[in-house]
Each structure stands twice: as C-alpha cells, then as structure tokens.
Amino acid sequence: MLALGLGACNGAKADPNAEAPPKATVEPDLDANNFKVDHPDQFPLVTAVEHKAVSALNVTGVVQPDITRAVPVISLATGRVVEIKARLGDTVEKGQLLLKVRSNDVSGAYQTYIKAENDERLDRIQLERAQTLYDKGAIAKSALEQADDTEADAKADLTAATEQLRTLGIDKDHPSGIVDIVAPISGVITDQQVTNAAGVQGLSGPNPFTISDLSYVWIICDVYENDLDAVRVGDSADIHLNAHPNQVFQGRVDNILPVLDPTIRTAKVRLEVKNPGQMRVGMFVTATFYGKQPEAHSAIPASAILHLHDREWVYAPLGAGHFKRLEVVTGNMLPGNLQEVVSGIKPGDRVVSNALVLQNTVEQ
C-alpha cells in the first residue's frame, strides 16, 4: 500500500494554464462624440452659411417708477384722518379727493381771519372819516396819512389770513373743521402711509400718499463689471417683459451708477422707457444691449441642432461613414427656420441636416 501511494504522488502534474480563468473579451463601447454608421448616405448634409449680426448683451431688470415724476401728497393741517377716499394702487386724477382730516388748525386760522376782517373794516371806516375831516380842514394831513397806513396794514393782514385758509383748503365763506386733501397730479398711488383714524403731522410726519406718473418708467438693470464696456449712456436697448414675451419695447440708457455692488460686482444701469400701459411697477424684464460692429456668425437649419442635456450639438462628417458630435453655442432664430450659431462651427462647415434622426440611429 505504501508503494502504491508513492506511485500515485509521482504521477501526472497539474496544468496551471487549465486552472487560470478565461481571458476577458473587451467589447468596444460606442463613442458618443466619434462613431461610425452603416449607411451614411441616409443622413444628408447641409453647409453652414455666414450671418452678420451685432453682438448682444442680455441682462435682467425690474420696472420702477420714475422718482422725478413722483409727487407726495402733503397735508399742511395737523389732525386725525376721518375718511379715506383712495387706496394704494388706485389711479387718480388731479384735484380728486383723497382723504379728509379733522384739524384744530382750521379754527385758529379762521379766528385770525375774522379778526383781520374786523380790523380792516374798522380801519377803512376810520380812513373814510379822516378823509372827510381832512377835506373840511379839521385835521392835519399827517393824521390822514396815519389812517391810510393803518388801513393798508389791515388789508395786508386780511390778505394773509385769507391765504392761510386757502392753503388749508378752507372756504372762508363756509368754514369747517374738516380739511379736504386732494391729488396734486394725475397718476397712480404707489405709496400709502395712512389709515382711518390715523394722525397726520403735517410736514413733519410721513406723507399720506405718493402719486407717480407712470407714463414714463425706469428699468433698473444689473450689468456685470466685465460687460460694462458694452453699455453706454444714450444707447438704445430692447425691453422684453416676462409677462408679455411677444412684445418688444424700446428704452434708452439714462444713467450708469458709478458705484459697483461689492458683493456681485454689478453696476446699476437705468433705462428710461415710455410706458404704453402694460408695464407695472415690480415687473421683471430682460434688456438687450447691442454692440456697434457686426460680427460674422454661422447659420444652419434648426433641425441640424440637437438639444441634449441642456446643451446644443451638431454632427459633422469625418469620412467613410464616421461622424463627430460637436458642441455649439446658439443664438437667435432667423427667418427661413435657420438658427444662429455663435461658436462651435464656422461658415462653410458641413453638418448633418437632421441631428435627431442620427442620434436615434446611434442609440439603436
């Protein structure tokens, strides 16, 4: 048995190649940017044409009232609000009643007016008496002149008292403790700082209302520091409202703030725009500034551009059924269903006319 065991150990040896795992077979993966198709003739090509266009800078902005056309509503009388006839956002006309204020200033002003009126009437009678006495030779001319001066002073006091009542909005023939506050201009109420039963402090407190003339408005835009060379005072710009994307309004650069925002490195650019009625305060807009010199871009059919993963691509032939996918930056749509290509290809380059069909073929 020992001899048989030793013979078995000295028998055939194990083959290490037989025990090794089989070689891995690498299947070639498809390169999405460089690949080959079996029938390239099924994908017609088009040639990119040249398109002249001026450079455009798009920035966001917001509609704001023109502060030079905003007029505060002032109450010269101090008192308590008893009635409000208008509210924030209302469109008002010049002279329209906005609110009523009960004020003690009226009683004081009317008292001053009554006293001035009585004094003027007495001084007028005395002047007439002095004139009669002077004509009779009963008094000296100096006494007549003194009476005339007193009458003139009384008239001045009466005129001042009457003007004070008029300033407060009080009719001297129908006095009342209620002061009517009217709109100084026509426009829209863009600010309200008063409520019923609130106190009005005259010129010292906040203004009850602010009325803005919105026939012209401001567009305040943020332009980054690197793009400021494309914006100049006096240049025109196209305004697109987010609420009315199909309408284009014309604006003019009125001012560029000389101080940059230190956080986001932008400057405030102010556009003055005539408001046709659609623009409301607070609306978001997109302003487009155009350069002075036209630039040469490419233009290809819109079907030749593939929108994939928030990017734009085109397919260019390499020969022998090979195609290469190129990333491009597109611009505006052009007449004839053409798409402007800012970068990625140049005029004269050939691309596949229907990129989506080629993409679907590759995926299959």
Per-residue pLDDT for the chain (364 aa), expressed as one digit of tens each?
A: 555 555 555 555 556 666 666 666 555 545 667 778 888 888 899 999 998 877 788 899 999 999 999 999 988 888 899 999 999 999 999 999 999 999 888 888 888 999 999 999 999 999 999 999 999 988 999 999 999 999 999 999 999 999 988 888 788 888 888 888 999 999 999 999 999 888 888 777 788 999 999 999 999 999 999 889 889 999 899 999 988 888 999 999 999 999 999 998 999 999 999 998 889 999 999 999 987 677 788 999 999 999 888 889 999 998 888 889 999 999 888 888 999 998 899 999 999 999 888 888 777 6
7 inside domain: no
Q: How far is CA 202 from CA 38, 75, 208, 267, in A?
A: 87, 5, 10, 38
What pLDDT, on a 0 to 100 scale, did the predictor assign at position 91?
A: 93
Q: How far is CA 151 from the centre of its chain?
A: 60
What pLDDT, on a 0 to 100 scale, did the predictor assign at position 61?
A: 94
Q: Which of 182, 190, 187 is nearest to 213 (CA)?
A: 187
Reduced to 3 states (helix: H, G, I; strand: E, B; else coil), residue 125 is helix
Are 187 and 82 within one domain? yes
DSSP string, 18-29: HHSPPPPPPPPP
What pLDDT, on a 0 to 100 scale, did the predictor assign at position 296?
A: 84
The partner residues of 197 in beta bridges, in order of sequence, read none
Q: What CATH number does the domain containing 275 carry?
A: 2.40.30.170
Strand order in the sheet with 78-84: 178-182, 97-103, 78-84, 199-201
26 inside domain: no
Compute how many other C-beta atoms are within 10 angstroms of the C-beta atom of residue 240.
16
Which element (helix H / strand E) includes 362?
Answer: helix 355-363
What pLDDT, on a 0 to 100 scale, did the predictor assign at position 237?
A: 93
143 inside domain: yes
Compute how many other C-beta atoms are within 10 angstroms of the C-beta atom of residue 308.
14
Q: How far apart are CA 225 and CA 182, in angstroms?
A: 46
Are 72 and 207 within one domain? yes
2 inside domain: no
Q: How far apart are CA 161 and CA 159, in angstroms?
A: 6
Boundary (domain end) residue, out of 252, 271, 292: 292
DSSP state for residue 341 in the 8-state scheme: E
Q: Which of 73, 32, 358 is nearest to 202 (CA)?
A: 73
Boundary (domain end) residue, out of 211, 238, 271: 211
What's the total number of domains in the chain?
Answer: 3
Q: Which of 180, 193, 186 is nearest to 211 (CA)?
A: 186
What pLDDT, on a 0 to 100 scale, did the predictor assign at position 204?
A: 76
28 inside domain: no
- Which amino acid is present at 358? L
Reduced to 3 states (helix: H, G, I; strand: E, B; else coil), residue 320 is coil
DSSP state for residue 300 in the 8-state scheme: E
Structure tokens given for 122: 């007495």
Residue span of the structural domain in which 162 resides: 68-211
Boundary (domain end) residue, out of 196, 211, 226: 211
Are 233 and 176 within one domain? no
216 inside domain: yes
What pLDDT, on a 0 to 100 scale, did the predictor assign at position 245?
A: 84
Cα three-residue angle 254-220-89, rounded to 5 degrees: 110
17 inside domain: no
What pLDDT, on a 0 to 100 scale, did the predictor assign at position 83?
A: 92
Q: How far apart are CA 317 and CA 92, in angstroms?
A: 67
321 inside domain: yes
Question: Which phi and psi (to 5°) does residue 240 adopt?
Answer: -120, 120
